[in-house]
Amino acid sequence: VMAFIKGVGAQVARPNARLTRQALATAQARYESLRTPRGLPVSYHCLTLQLESAR
């Protein structure tokens, strides 16, 4: 799921925050605990902003 989210260009709010291998493995294990016969729950919203200078 994380690879798919990155694949659509999503980025973390804190660009300097890095996940260690252990933290990533923990997050993945916790997320897998939510798996149902229909798969993993996932949803996201896409927001595109175009900002212009007020000059």
pLDDT per residue as tens, the chain (55 positions):
667 666 766 665 666 667 788 988 898 899 899 999 999 888 777 788 888 888 7
Q: Give the count of domains, the chain.
A: 1
What pLDDT score does 2 carry?
67
In this prediction the pTM is 0.48
What pLDDT shows up at residue 35?
A: 92
Looking at residue 21, its pLDDT comes to 86
Q: Which domain holds residue 1?
A: 1-55
5-39: buried (b, 16+ CB within 10 Å) or exposed (e) per residue?
eeeeeeeeeeeeeeeeeeeeeeeeeeeeeeeeeee
